Structure 1
Amino acid sequence: MDGLLIFGKTGQVALELARIAPGARFVGRDEADLTDPAACAALIRDARPRAVINAAAYTAVDKAESDADTARLVNADAPGAMAAACAELGVPFVHISTDYVFDGSGDQPRAEDAETGPLGVYGATKLAGERAIAAAGGQWAVLRTSWVFSAHGTNFVKTMRRLGAERPRLTIVADQIGGPTAAADIARAVLAMATAMAADPAKGGIYHFAGAPDVSWADFAREIFAQSGLSPEVADIPSSDYPTPARRPLNSRLHCAAITRDFDIPRPDWRDSLKPVIEGLSA
């Protein structure tokens, strides 16, 4: 769509958006640092876009535990300021959030209105961002997603391919369950949402979007190895055997019916979405 402003240039989703929305204006840290929320808002006011997508975030989950101030600026204060600027201009704002806003209890998929309860700083700052966006008024949408992968940056697929080629046996967490989601699928979803919202001021709200079927990290790794032609032994372990500074939710399942209902965006099969990523990494 014309007049689209996207925050983010180097992240997984931003790089995929650049493929499918080459006419959009992409804003990096050189133009608007998300640690300066006022500058982000000012850029939106000056640009006067038709719609804004925020594909930038503080995603270092473990580092956030010791860098809470920066995480809050980037994940909460900046999106809130962006949403307020969009509300002033009367243009839609689309923001990407995370399953980490939930506590990971139980074994059922979480709906959009389920009770939140983040386990760490990252999830807490992302939830604060959602609330700041809603409080800003205007037309907005928050897309919660999970387990993002692509051929770019640092992610589970790239790590597993490297380790699978180096080691005959790997121990991988098997009690965390979620939906791996290709950055390319997220990019298509947020672009479709922004386009639909620009055409219909009634559209918006919180939505869930994740790949299907739900799977453990260990079984996700097995599929990565199968598609990559690698054959290390995979041993399932509990999360307690792999401690990290930030606790991970055990249940990252997301109920994704609402986005299909309101935007006609189906839940993608992550195994199909994994194939072009593996092909790209193997080239």
Structure 2
Amino acid sequence: MKKILVTGANGQLGSELNVLSENYKNYNWFFADRKNVTLDNLDLLKNQLNEIKPDVIFNCGAYTAVDKAESEKDLAFKVNHLAVELIARYSVENNVKLIHISTDYVFDGSSSIALSEKSQTNPINVYGKSKLAGEVACLKENPESIIIRTSWVYSKFGNNFVKTMQRLMQERDEINVVNDQIGSPTYATDLAQAMIDIIEFSEWIPGIFNYSNEGEISWYEFALSIKELGGYNCIVEGIPSSSYPTPAKRPSFSLLNKEKIKTVYDLKIPNYKESLKKIFI
């Protein structure tokens, strides 16, 4: 029985994989939190991997505090770059299949058409730079690995935009949401299922792949969908990013083109609204 190691077990994606794992008893699942797999201590990490002995690694663990990364650069790069490098090296030395999760933040937001896997990367914040460094190291150490870039992840677990909007729309009469950042949300359950589908697929085809739900929207339009599905009475106003400055710059356009993953792995990707409804069930 193959053993699948999931790093970042308590995060949104790790938590959704934990739920789905109940349907896949043909695998031996190992869900690792920061104690089991310590991404910020490389000596310890190597020993932990040798003890766990996985056949497959879903590397969902990451440093994801985008604004905090601006002042914690070394930690962000240790977790998002150096730990990934070590995991990729371990995977190639031990014949382990590796799926590593990356981000739309490797792009600068200057595109006006959906970004493909071949689009020029140019991150504009520390988090994005650390994640891109991780991608490069991952493919250099193990060219047979799979990297999935995703965007705007949300789920019933953890902290995310949808849960924040649900809370604010019940607490306040009016909220402001940026309307000049364009992309598409990712329901973590859908991405988790896609990862399992890739493992179950008849062939292992490595490389970089994009995954998010279908649709092209702004955060403001996303908030309006949440308001509609939740039946909230709160007034939602759209504002420019310049009215809501943050320590880290965000790409203004990060819509991902998903044709490659749909074609190569024969995946059906739901529209964002179809998936968003499941949060309200």
State the TM-score, normalizing by the size of structure 2.
0.94
**Deviations along 1:55-92, whole A, 9 cap, x unmatched?**
11111000000001111111111111111101001121
One-letter amino acid of the counterpart of residue 250, structure 1: S
**1:30 matched residue in structure 2:** 35
The equivalent position to 2:256 in structure 1, one of 242, 254, 257, is 254
Task: Report the Cα distance in structure 1 between the residues aligned to 2:45 and 2:272, rounded to whole angstroms.
Answer: 33
**1:17 matched residue in structure 2:** 17
Asked if 1:179 is matched to 2:184, the reply is yes
One-letter amino acid of the counterpart of residue 203, structure 2: D
- The 5 A counterparts of 1:25-64 are 25-64=30-69
Provide structure 2 residue ranges, at least 5 long, that are not aligned to the other structure: 23-27
Task: Report the Cα distance in structure 1 between the residues aligned to 2:194 and 2:42, rounded to whole angstroms.
Answer: 25
Query: Percent identity among equivalent residues?
Result: 39
**2:114 matched residue in structure 1:** 109
One-letter amino acid of the counterpart of residue 83, structure 2: A
1:259 and 1:266 in contact (8 A); partners too: no
**Deviations along 1:14-72, whole A, 9 cap, x unmatched?**
00000112441111111221101343333333333221111111110000000011111
Residue 234 (structure 1) shift: 1.5
Residue 138 (structure 1) shift: 4.9
Q: Secondary structure at the match of 1:39?
A: helix
**1:241 matched residue in structure 2:** 243
One-letter amino acid of the counterpart of residue 17, structure 2: L
2:4 and 2:30 in contact (8 A); partners too: yes
The equivalent position to 1:219 in structure 2, one of 195, 218, 221, is 221
Question: Number of paired residues?
Answer: 276
Distance 1:195 1:42, change over 3 A: farther
**2:25 matched residue in structure 1:** none
Task: Report the Cα distance in structure 1 between the residues aligned to 2:82 and 2:171, rounded to whole angstroms.
Answer: 42
Q: Secondary structure at the match of 1:52?
A: strand
Q: Secondary structure at the match of 1:34?
A: coil
Asked if 1:5 is matched to 2:5, the reply is yes
Q: Secondary structure at the match of 1:231?
A: coil
**Deviations along 1:148-184, whole A, 9 cap, x unmatched?**
0111111110111111111121111001011111011
Distance 1:80 1:263, change over 3 A: same
Q: Secondary structure at the match of 2:83?
A: helix
2:143 and 2:207 in contact (8 A); partners too: no
Task: Report the Cα distance in structure 2 between the residues aligned to 1:47 and 1:153, rounded to whole angstroms.
Answer: 26
Q: Secondary structure at the match of 2:35?
A: coil
1:111 and 1:208 in contact (8 A); partners too: yes
Distance 1:79 1:224, change over 3 A: same
**Deviations along 1:235-280, whole A, 9 cap, x unmatched?**
111111110000010001011100011111122211111122122x
**1:228 matched residue in structure 2:** 230
Task: Report the Cα distance in structure 1 between the residues aligned to 2:206 and 2:263, rounded to whole angstroms.
Answer: 12
Provide structure 1 residue ranges, at least 5 long, that are not aligned to the other structure: none
2:37 and 2:49 in contact (8 A); partners too: no
Residue 6 (structure 1) shift: 1.1
**1:154 matched residue in structure 2:** 159
Residue 200 (structure 1) shift: 3.1
Task: Report the Cα distance in structure 2 between the residues aligned to 1:169 and 1:227, rounded to whole angstroms.
Answer: 17
One-letter amino acid of the counterpart of residue 213, structure 1: G
Q: Secondary structure at the match of 2:279?
A: helix
Task: Report the Cα distance in structure 1 between the residues aligned to 2:45 and 2:102, rounded to whole angstroms.
Answer: 18
Asked if 1:200 is matched to 2:227, the reply is no
1:41 and 1:84 in contact (8 A); partners too: no
Asked if 1:84 is matched to 2:89, the reply is yes
Q: Secondary structure at the match of 1:24?
A: strand
